[in-house]
Structures are given as C-alpha cells and as structure tokens.
C-alpha cells in the first residue's frame, strides 16, 4: 500500500516566522511531488511542485525534496495569517494516480 | 493558465433525484480528470478517474451505477449522482491533469468544488 504521511497538526507559528511542513512517502518509485493549500470549505490549490532532489523556491515558498530519505517539505517564509490553511502533500509515481496525505493544518498567529 | 471550473458550485436536491456536475478545463486539454469527494474535516477521497473517450476507472467501494461519469471531450467531464440520498451529501471536487513541460510529469489542478445537499 503506497502511503503519504503528514502530521495533522495544528502547527502554530507566529506571524513573520518560518513554517515548516513535512511529508514522507513510502513508494521509492515516486517521481513527482506536489504541495496544495486548502482553505476551509474550498478546494485544493496547487502552490508548488518539485521533481528533482534539492530545493525549489517560489516567492515565500520553498519545496525541498530528498528522495534517498523519502521526504518532501514545504517552507513558508514570513508567514502571514492568510497562510492559515490545511496543506496537502501529494505524490505521483508515474501512474495516473496521485496519493494524497491527510494534510497538516497550519495556524499563523497574528 | 491551468484553470478548472465546476458547475454548479452548490446544489440542493430531493432524495431520489439525480444531479449532474460539470467539470471543465478552461485553458488546457485534459485527457484525464479525477473526481473526489470530501466530508467535513476529512481528507480527499478519490472516487474515479475519467479518461476522454473511454470508460471511467472507479475506486474500490464506489458504485459505478450510482456515480455516472462521462468524459465526452478533452475539456469536459461530468459526474451524475443518480437517485441521490442524504448520505450522498458531500463536497465533490474535480481535477484535471495537465502535462508538465518535463517529460512524463503532470500537474493536477482542482476545480472549485460542488457542495451537494440531498434533503
């Protein structure tokens, strides 16, 4: 059974701090990794994707991938209250299916 | 780019009636679309994978005769909930897969979701 695991949280960080969200996956054949943000009552929104080992930066967001250790993380710099949401990690192993984690709830405290 | 729409955004129907939900990729072609449902405070549950021009692939435990999926074109997939009952009330979300610029890689973009309430 291919799995994607995330800590459900809530992860609370003060405004302006760095929020660090982590995700581990079980399938070593996984090739593509995605981070989605989901506000309460809304659908998920793609914020980052990463395919290669290392870091990928986009604005305040940095995705980090370590295939040897089978984890992918998302860093949010200068966290804002508007970043408060559930963050979903998704993994694709080259098939048509994506495996989603259950999400980490982030609270940014003003 | 990569916009996916859904219609309607919410619907209330009576028990026993059928409801059709449309999912459209507005600025790209999607040979594959996905249908999910999500109950409050729970994670996404994949219901089925919709492939243009062929039959949908349903996940284990999802009744294909109750949740009819038609992927008639490269930009449109529909989900029909037949003979709806109150337990079908949920948030239904579609997504469309878009080919990335990187070989064999795809990104998945979600529609805004449809909130179904069956009374």
Q: Is A44 on the interface with B (CB under 8 A)?
A: yes
pLDDT tens digit at each of 119 positions of chain B: 689 999 999 999 999 999 999 999 999 988 899 999 999 888 899 999 998 888 899 999 999 999 999 998 999 999 999 999 999 999 999 999 887 666 556 789 999 999 999 99
* pLDDT for position B9: 97
Instruction: State which residue of chain A sits closest to B91, comparing Cα positions.
Output: A41
Q: Quick check: A96 and B49 CB within 8 A? A: yes
CA–CA separation, A72 vs A108, rounded Å? 21
- Among the partner residues B46, B105, B112, nearest to A32 by beta-carbon distance: B105
Q: Is B59 on the interface with A (CB under 8 A)?
A: no
* pLDDT for position B2: 87
Question: How do residues A71-102 score in pLDDT, each as one tens digit?
Answer: 999 999 999 999 999 999 999 877 777 899 99
Chain A, residues 57-96, CB within 8 A of chain B, namely 88, 90, 92, 94, 96
* pLDDT for position B102: 60
* pLDDT for position A93: 78
Query: What are residue B65's phi and psi, to 5 degrees?
Result: -80, -15
Nearest CA to CA, how far is A46 from chain B (Å)?
Answer: 7
Beta strands in A3-110 (DSSP E): 4-5, 11-14, 19-25, 32-38, 45-50, 54-58, 61-66, 71-76, 85-92, 98-100, 104-109
Q: State the average pLDDT for chain A.
A: 94
Query: What are residue B30's phi and psi, to 5 degrees?
Result: -130, 105
Q: Which two tokens stand for residue A35?
A: 């981070």
- Residue B101's contacts (CB-CB under 8 Å, 6 or more residues apart) are none
Q: Quick check: B107 and A36 CB within 8 A? A: no
B31 or A24: which leads in pLDDT: A24
Are residues B32 and B50 in contact, defined by beta-carbon separation less than 8 angstroms? yes
Tokens 């003003």 label which residue? A110
Question: How do residues A42-67 score in pLDDT, each as one tens digit?
Answer: 999 999 999 999 999 999 999 999 99
Q: Quick check: B110 and A44 CB within 8 A? A: yes
């Amino acid at each position: 059974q291919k799995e994607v695991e995330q800590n459900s949280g809530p992860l609370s960080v003060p405004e302006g701090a760095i929020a660090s969200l982590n995700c581990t996956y079980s399938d070593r054949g996984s090739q593509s990794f995605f981070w989605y943000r989901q506000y309460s009552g809304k659908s998920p929104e793609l914020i980052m994707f990463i395919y290669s080992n290392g870091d990928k930066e986009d604005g305040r967001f940095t995705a980090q991938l370590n295939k040897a250790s089978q984890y992918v993380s998302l860093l949010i710099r200068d966290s804002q209250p508007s970043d408060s949401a559930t963050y979903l990690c998704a993994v694709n192993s080259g098939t048509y299916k994506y495996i989603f984690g259950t999400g980490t709830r982030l609270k940014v405290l003003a | 780019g990569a916009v996916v729409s859904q219609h309607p955004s919410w619907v209330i129907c009576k028990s026993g009636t059928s409801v059709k939900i449309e999912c459209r990729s507005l600025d790209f072609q999607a040979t594959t679309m996905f249908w999910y449902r999500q109950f409050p405070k729970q994670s996404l549950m994949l219901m089925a994978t919709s492939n243009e021009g062929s039959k949908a692939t349903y996940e284990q435990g999802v009744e294909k005769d109750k949740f009819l999926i038609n992927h008639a074109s490269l930009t449109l997939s529909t989900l029909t909930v037949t003979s709806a009952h109150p337990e079908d009330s949920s948030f239904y979300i579609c997504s469309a897969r878009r080919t990335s610029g990187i070989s064999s890689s795809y990104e998945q973009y979600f529609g805004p979701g449809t909130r179904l309430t069956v009374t």
